[in-house]
């Protein structure tokens, strides 16, 4: 193994260890010895007969390898400590990076972790005024991640970062979008730096509005749309399938309902305010906010993008703390007419 604990309960890399010091295994806490030779790389070894099956707190070889590689790379940015013990919160980040008077906890996550446990760790770091970034291992990179998992590990730049120790580089994913009836799409770049921000959006396939209409029609025919919602519009002499085209153009990531439902809610809120009338922006935003997952900063940003879309198309005007309705989004009288509108665009 290449890491052990010294008498001060600090993690020490084998290459930095001194021969006559006392060390213990991070996993079983039994004594280990430092082996130095001309052929094999300097490392720690258990005393003969030890039955330890772990490296460090049951971590896998992949996690240990990735953590050590990250520590070596991050050393160029500041002072690095591997699993430094934060006594005040009883936590050991995989890596604690100190740059001047600021500290950053880097957690290299290879195994599953619950939202509750992750939130507890993040809150601990927050109380100590320590920023945190979660870097995911190959087990996560090889999976199709759900919106919930992506949101759980998002950085302040709305990105997810992976580190692949077998390849020695980082994968950054960002600019996440979610079209109804499709998987999550994103921009992905490969880099040798952990803090890279994706500035350019990769080219995405245009949203197929006609397909979105037919998919919604199928949901309605299969009775997979809330009967309460259908009845609400029916009582207004309206059919959901004849709703404004705008509801089919959503690509918002992080919703707990479909894009078309979220946008239909926005249409109803605008109609309720009425043309030429104003309402406090917060009144509309709060209702839309409810259906976005993630932290508050991310949720408000998604709501703002939706309202910006309505403003760009001339339906509303955002005036400081107020929203003014300029015109209502048009409904259709027939599906044929709606599809014809799509073809003419």
Out of 205, 234, 249, a domain closes at: 205
Number of domains making up the chain: 3
- What value does the mean pLDDT take over residues 245-267? 98
CA dist 118 → 60, 159, 184 (Å):
19, 17, 23
* Per-residue pLDDT at 58: 47
The span from the CA of 196 to the CA of 239, in Å, is 47
* Per-residue pLDDT at 141: 97
Q: Name the average pLDDT for the chain.
A: 92
* Close Cβ partners of 292 (under 8 Å, ≥ 6 residues apart): 252, 254, 255, 256, 298, 299, 302, 303
- 217 vs 2, higher pLDDT: 217
Q: 172 with 132, same domain?
A: yes
Q: 197 with 330, same domain?
A: no
**What's the whole-model pTM score?**
0.83
Tens-place pLDDT, residues 190-212: 999 999 999 888 788 899 999 99
Backbone phi, psi, residue 277, to 5°: -105, 155
Out of 34, 58, 82, a domain closes at: 58
Q: 338 with 272, same domain?
A: yes
- Asked if residues 1 and 55 have their Cβ atoms less than 8 Å apart, the reply is yes
Reply yes or no on whether the pLDDT at 284 is more than 50: yes
* Per-residue pLDDT at 120: 96
Tens-place pLDDT, residues 214-253: 999 999 999 999 999 999 999 999 999 999 999 999 999 9
**CATH code for the domain of 320:** 1.10.10.10
- What value does the mean pLDDT take over residues 320-324? 97
Q: 144 with 47, same domain?
A: no
Reply yes or no on whether the pLDDT at 181 is more than 80: yes
* Per-residue pLDDT at 83: 85
Q: 196 with 235, same domain?
A: no
- What value does the mean pLDDT take over residues 151-178? 95
Tens-place pLDDT, residues 306-320: 999 999 999 999 999
Reply yes or no on whether the pLDDT at 179 is more than 90: yes
The pLDDT > 70 percentage for the chain reads: 94
Instruction: Give which of 305, 308, 324 is closest to 316, Cα–Cα.
Output: 324
Confidence of residue 101 (pLDDT cuts 50, 70, 90): very high
**CATH code for the domain of 71:** 3.40.1350
Reduced to 3 states (helix: H, G, I; strand: E, B; else coil), residue 211 is helix
- What value does the mean pLDDT take over residues 300-308? 97
Q: Which structural domain range is residue 116 located in?
A: 60-205
Q: 70 with 194, same domain?
A: yes
Q: 172 with 193, same domain?
A: yes
Q: 163 with 260, same domain?
A: no
* Per-residue pLDDT at 5: 82
Out of 21, 41, 58, a domain closes at: 58
- 29 vs 145, higher pLDDT: 145
Tens-place pLDDT, residues 9-50: 777 878 788 888 899 887 677 899 998 876 667 888 888 777
Q: 244 with 337, same domain?
A: yes
Q: 201 with 260, same domain?
A: no
CA end-to-end span of the chain, whole Å? Answer: 64
* Per-residue pLDDT at 166: 86
Q: 176 with 264, same domain?
A: no
Lowest mean pLDDT among 3-12, 174-183, 292-301, 334-343: 3-12
The secondary element (H helix, E strand) that includes residue 250 is none
Q: 51 with 92, same domain?
A: no
Structure tokens at 109: 């996550």
């Amino acid at each position: 193994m290449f890491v052990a604990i010294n008498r001060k309960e600090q993690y020490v890399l084998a290459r930095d260890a001194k021969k006559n010091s006392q060390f213990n295994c991070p996993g079983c806490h039994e004594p280990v010895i430092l082996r130095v030779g001309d052929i094999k790389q300097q490392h720690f070894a258990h005393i003969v007969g030890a039955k330890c099956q772990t490296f460090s707190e049951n971590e896998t070889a992949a996690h240990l390898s990735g953590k050590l590689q990250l520590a070596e790379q991050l050393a160029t940015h500041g002072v690095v400590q591997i699993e430094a013990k934060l006594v005040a919160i009883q936590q050991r980040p995989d890596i604690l990076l100190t740059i001047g008077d600021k500290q950053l906890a880097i957690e290299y996550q290879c195994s599953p972790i619950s939202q509750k446990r992750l939130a507890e760790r993040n809150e601990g770091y927050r109380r100590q005024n320590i920023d945190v970034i979660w870097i995911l291992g190959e087990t996560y990179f090889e999976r199709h991640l759900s919106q919930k998992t992506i949101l759980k590990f998002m950085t302040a730049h709305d990105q997810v970062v992976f580190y692949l120790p077998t390849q020695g580089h980082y994968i950054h994913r960002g600019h996440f979008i979610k079209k109804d009836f499709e998987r999550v799409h994103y921009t992905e770049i490969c880099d040798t730096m952990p803090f890279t921000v994706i500035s350019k959006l990769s080219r995405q396939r245009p949203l197929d509005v006609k397909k979105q209409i037919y998919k919604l029609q199928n949901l309605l025919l299969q009775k997979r749309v809330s009967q309460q919602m259908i009845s609400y519009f029916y009582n207004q002499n309206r059919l959901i399938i004849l709703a404004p085209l705008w509801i089919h153009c959503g690509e918002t990531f992080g919703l707990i309902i479909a894009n078309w439902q979220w946008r239909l809610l926005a249409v109803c809120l605008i109609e309720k305010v009425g043309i030429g009338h104003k309402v406090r922006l917060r009144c509309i935003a709060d209702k839309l906010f409810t259906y976005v997952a993630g932290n508050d900063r991310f949720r408000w940003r998604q709501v703002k993008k939706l309202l910006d879309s309505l403003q760009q198309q001339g339906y509303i005007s955002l005036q400081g703390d107020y929203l003014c309705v300029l015109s209502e989004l048009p409904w259709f009288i027939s599906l044929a007419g709606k599809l014809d509108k799509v073809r003419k665009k």
